[in-house]
């Protein structure tokens, strides 16, 4: 028995590896032809990959790294090479039981579900159908094991009216949150702090759906950074850390842009980005807030940035040791969630080419001496509260 066996652990960030027929089985191929995302062999890359027309979206097995025998960015070359638990809900439940995880929040694989490519399609009907097909797929997963799989809604964010409608449609289907891009301006849309987005914030707030900022969020440029001479593995390592820390800017924007002030009952979650950096980010933001005269410019903002964070913003961690414990010690346990990132390259998925250990072993080794009440909040209570989970 491990330290936390009696806690119904909620894993706040996992991914379902999309099966090759996800879109072709749910959309009209007769109507849209090969623009419907599908998997075929890529001769140049020597692997199966997702395509929309002639546009490659990503490797079919890139996200399926649980137990894989090669270090990232190398990955299964064929979908059939991946661990079935990455895409089969029955197999996933078995892994969850083995790891001591009660429930998982389900996110898309950003590298496959390439928002930049979808935005470039310039076909509103097709774009919406793609998003709805994916959301329906997650609904099917959540219905396979209600209470154990929790769907997070993807948004057709390039259309604000369609976005609000999809929030409501998926809420009615039982989804518990939405995922939104960190940088809509990257796609030629209004800045995140533009009042243009207020209908979306309002729709989510009214339904009690947290806004989740998953790293990358469709902006995949960091994947191509780093000189080739550095080596593929070194560049991949740098890319991951770059993505993690980008959410510091996201938190700064939603606070300084007045979004937290205008929507006080709306929760925000920084996903797959760690928590060790958060105390510094909040201390720096409080200092800059005062130093730059924000209280004089916006006397209506009644709280400091750190206080807005405490009221409605959350961070997720999965591999940290000293930095996570330090953040919990400094800020308390009310604003942190636990995740495994299963089955991504940086996930807590043991294998021959990873330093990860099983989630139950990690938690027992790293947090067994942390206050029991605090760990109950982090592993279950906080996520159950903000996502309205009744177990």
Q: What single string gives the DSSP state of each residue in 164-212?
A: HHHHHHHHHTT--EEE--S-GGGGTSPPTTSGGGHHHHHHHHHHT--EE
Distance CA 182, CA 19 (A): 26
pLDDT (0 to 100) of residue 221: 66
pLDDT at 112: 46
The answer to whether 215 and 273 are in contact (CB under 8 A) is: yes
Using alpha carbons, list the distances in angstroms from residue 291 to 117, 131, 294, 295, 297: 41, 43, 8, 10, 12
* Residue that is written with structure tokens 């994947």 in the block: 223
- Residue 74 sits at φ, ψ, to 5 deg, of -70, 145
Based on its alpha-carbon atoms, the radius of gyration of the chain, rounded to whole angstroms, reads 20
Structure tokens at 170: 């998926």
pLDDT for position 117: 80
Rounded to the nearest 10 degrees, the angle between the axes of helix 278-291 and helix 322-331 is 50
pTM for the model stands at 0.95
Q: Pairing relation of β-strands 47-52 and 55-59?
A: antiparallel
Mean pLDDT computed over every residue of the chain: 94
- Average pLDDT on 184-204 reads 96
| Rounded average pLDDT over 95-103 | 97
Residue 113: which pLDDT band, with cuts at 50, 70 and 90? low
pLDDT digits (tens, 9 = 90+) for 26-78: 999 999 999 999 999 999 999 999 999 998 988 999 999 999 999 999 999 99
pLDDT, position 244: 85
The answer on pLDDT for 195 being more than 70 is: yes
If we measure between CA atoms, which residue out of 14, 104, 8 comes closest to residue 346? 14
pLDDT band at 109 (very low <50, low <70, confident <90, very high): confident
pLDDT value at position 328?
97
Which residues share a beta bridge with 10? 103
Lowest-confidence region among 94-103, 126-135, 161-170, 239-248: 239-248
- Name the residue among 87, 85, 34, 97 with its Cα closest to residue 60: 87
At 220 the pLDDT is 65
Instruction: Decide if domain 10-16+85-386 falls under CATH 3.20.20.140.
Output: yes
Min mean pLDDT across 199-213, 239-253, 282-296, 334-348 is at 239-253
């Amino acid at each position: 028995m491990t330290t936390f066996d009696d806690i119904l652990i909620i894993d706040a960030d996992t991914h379902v590896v999309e099966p090759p027929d996800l879109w072709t089985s749910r959309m009209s191929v007769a109507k849209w032809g090969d623009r419907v995302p599908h998997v075929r062999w890529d001769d140049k890359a020597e692997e199966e990959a997702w395509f929309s027309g002639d546009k490659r979206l990503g490797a079919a097995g890139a996200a399926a790294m649980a137990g894989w025998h090669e270090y990232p960015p190398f990955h299964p070359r064929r979908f059939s090479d991946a661990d079935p638990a990455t895409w089969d809900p029955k197999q996933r439940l078995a892994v969850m039981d083995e790891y001591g995880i009660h429930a998982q929040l389900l996110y898309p694989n950003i590298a496959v579900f390439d928002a930049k490519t979808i935005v470039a399609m310039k076909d509103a009907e097709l774009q919406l159908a793609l998003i709805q097909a994916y959301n329906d797929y997650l609904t099917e997963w959540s219905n396979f094991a209600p209470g154990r799989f929790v769907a997070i809604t993807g948004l057709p964010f390039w259309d604000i009216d369609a976005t609000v409608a999809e929030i409501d449609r998926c809420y009615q289907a039982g989804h518990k949150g939405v995922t939104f891009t960190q940088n809509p301006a990257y796609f030629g849309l209004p800045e995140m702090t533009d009042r243009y987005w207020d209908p979306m914030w309002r729709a989510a707030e009214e339904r009690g759906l947290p806004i989740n900022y998953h790293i990358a969020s469709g902006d995949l440029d960091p994947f191509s950074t780093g000189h080739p001479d550095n080596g593929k593995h070194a560049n991949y390592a740098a890319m991951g850390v770059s993505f993690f820390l980008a959410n510091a800017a996201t938190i700064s924007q939603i606070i300084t842009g007045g979004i937290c002030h205008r929507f006080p009952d709306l929760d925000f979650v920084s996903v797959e980005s760690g928590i060790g950096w958060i105390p510094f980010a909040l201390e720096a933001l409080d200092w800059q807030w005062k130093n730059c005269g924000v209280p004089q410019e916006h006397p209506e903002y009644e709280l400091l940035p750190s206080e807005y964070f405490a009221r409605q913003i959350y961070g997720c961690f999965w591999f940290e040791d000293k930095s996570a414990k330090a953040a919990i010690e400094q800020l308390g346990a009310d604003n942190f969630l636990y995740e495994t990132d299963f089955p991504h390259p940086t996930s807590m998925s043991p294998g021959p080419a990873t330093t990860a250990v099983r989630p139950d072993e990690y938690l027992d080794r790293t947090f067994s001496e942390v206050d029991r009440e605090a760990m109950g909040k982090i592993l279950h209570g906080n996520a159950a509260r903000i996502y309205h989970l009744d177990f």
